[in-house]
């Protein structure tokens, strides 16, 4: 291919190459050329670095793609705004596009598909809305579908990311909870979605039963499919309001409340039902300065039910917004 180049004495070639690289002017995908004692460094535009600019033919070079940012065709002054990460559920990439990058969202999505060949669909995430926690998605690239199969810890989950909530970022958290379950426990997952907590517990441990509740009919349908898909016979799916359903089952030893938008009503219901010595896994979106106050609040709510409680562990799971994180609290109830 034909390109502008900087003609540099060979003893200065690496020094000038580093300068051009730092300036963002070194042309990618094109190999430098050499004739006698002169090295020709291909550049994207004429540049004054103390050496002549010439135009000549170059051979294209293979450049490995380290990040979708390498191939995203956005103006240089927007490069720093490109999202540094995105969620992947099965073969669907889900990312939040900053408002400033909205004119380039299709190019960003196509760059992700070029850089990550295992991804087939890219969707823009406008947030989780409503009591059923449904993601608001727009397809940016790839086929117009939101259903996929997600694999995690040797298990697979069929999920429609636009109809049922699923977060791949909770994988390590799901494993952490599953590893705490003792043989013979009765476990309740109050907001189970498509079943990743409940099914993992049932397959990795020996609970007596795992009750999996969800009020979203779409999530419940996938939950049933995933129980059968993974042969998780100890999971008992139930459709309906989690607080009402909790009153209908035998008092559990462990309750998972993965409803971080408003977990306190479910926590109160859990305190009324859990056996002495049981554990509640409580999740909430909080500012860092709110974490300690929420810990005290959990103990005070327990006291109002005539229960003793101790927060035996807490951790920030992942970021949620510029100022909030998802926090997990393990509360032992006596």
pLDDT, tens digit, 9 for 90 and up, residues 92-133: 999 999 899 999 999 999 999 988 889 999 999 988 888 888
pLDDT at position 64 over 80: no
User: What are the residue ranges spanned by the domains of the chain?
Assistant: 2-57, 68-145, 167-333
pLDDT, tens digit, 9 for 90 and up, residues 166-222: 999 999 999 999 999 999 999 999 999 999 999 999 999 999 999 999 999 999 999
pLDDT at position 62 over 70: no
Q: Is domain 2-57 annotated with CATH 3.40.50.970? A: no
Half-sphere exposure of 278 (CA within 13 A, CB side): 24
| Full 3-state SS string of the chain | CEEEEEEEEHHHHHHHHHHHHHHCCECCCECCEEECCEEEEEECCCCCCCCCEEEEECCECCCCCCCHHHCCCCCHHHHHHCCCCCEEECCEEEECCCHHHHHHHHHHHHHHHHHCCCCCEEEEEEEEECCCCEEEEEEEECCCCCEEEEEECCEEEEEECCCCCCCHHHHHHHHHHHCCCCCCCEEEECCCCCCHHHHHHHHHCCCCEEEEEECCHHHHHHHHHHHHHCCCCCEEEEECCHHHHHCCCCCCCEEEECCCCCCHHHHHHHHHHCCCCEEEEEEEEEEHHHHHHHHHHHHHHHHHCCCCEEEEEEEEEEECCCCEEEEEEEEEEC
Choosing among 3.30.70.20, 1.10.10.10, 3.30.300.110, 3.40.710.10, the CATH entry for 68-145 is 3.30.300.110
* Mean pLDDT within 17-24: 85
Torsion angles phi and psi, residue 188, rounded to 5: -120, 125
Same CATH topology for 68-145 and 167-333: the answer is: no
Question: Which residue matches tokens 């006291």?
Answer: 303
* Mean pLDDT within 221-250: 97
* Mean pLDDT within 56-84: 79
Choosing among 3.20.20.140, 3.40.50.1000, 3.40.50.150, 3.10.180.10, the CATH entry for 167-333 is 3.40.50.150
The larger pLDDT score, comparing residue 200 to residue 62, is at 200
- Collect all residues with Cβ–Cβ distance below 8 Å to 294 and sequence separation of at least 6: 284, 286, 327, 329
pLDDT at position 307 over 90: yes
């Amino acid at each position: 291919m034909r390109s502008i180049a900087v003609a540099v004495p060979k003893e200065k070639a690496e020094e000038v190459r580093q300068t051009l690289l730092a300036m963002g002017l070194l042309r990618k995908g094109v190999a430098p050329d050499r004739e006698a004692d002169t090295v020709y460094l291909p550049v994207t535009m004429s540049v004054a670095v103390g050496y002549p600019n010439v135009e000549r033919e170059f051979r294209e070079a293979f450049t490995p793609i380290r990040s979708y940012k390498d191939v995203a065709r956005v103006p240089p002054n927007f490069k720093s705004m490109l999202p540094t990460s995105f969620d992947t559920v099965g073969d669907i990439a889900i990312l939040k596009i900053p408002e400033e990058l909205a004119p380039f969202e299709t190019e960003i999505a196509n760059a992700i598909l070029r850089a990550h060949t295992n991804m087939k669909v890219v969707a823009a995430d406008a947030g989780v809305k409503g009591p059923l926690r449904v993601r608001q998605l727009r397809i940016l690239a790839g086929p117009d579908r939101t259903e996929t199969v997600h694999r995690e810890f040797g298990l697979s989950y069929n999920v429609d990311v636009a109809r049922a909530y699923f977060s791949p970022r909770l994988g390590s958290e799901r494993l952490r909870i599953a590893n705490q379950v003792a043989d013979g426990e009765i476990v309740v997952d109050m907001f189970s979605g498509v079943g990743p907590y409940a099914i993992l517990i049932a397959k990795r441990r020996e609970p007596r039963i795992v009750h999996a509740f969800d009020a979203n009919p779409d999530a419940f349908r996938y939950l049933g499919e995933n129980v059968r898909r993974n042969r998780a016979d100890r999971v008992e799916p139930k459709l309906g309001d989690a607080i009402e359903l909790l009153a209908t089952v035998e008092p559990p030893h462990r309750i998972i409340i993965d409803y971080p938008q408003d977990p306190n009503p479910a926590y109160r219901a859990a305190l009324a039902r859990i056996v002495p010595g049981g554990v509640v896994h409580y999740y909430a979106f909080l500012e860092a300065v709110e974490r300690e106050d929420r810990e005290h609040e959990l103990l005070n709510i327990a006291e109002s039910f005539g229960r003793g409680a101790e927060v035996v562990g807490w951790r920030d799971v992942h970021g949620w917004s510029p100022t909030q994180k998802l926090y997990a609290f393990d509360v032992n109830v006596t």
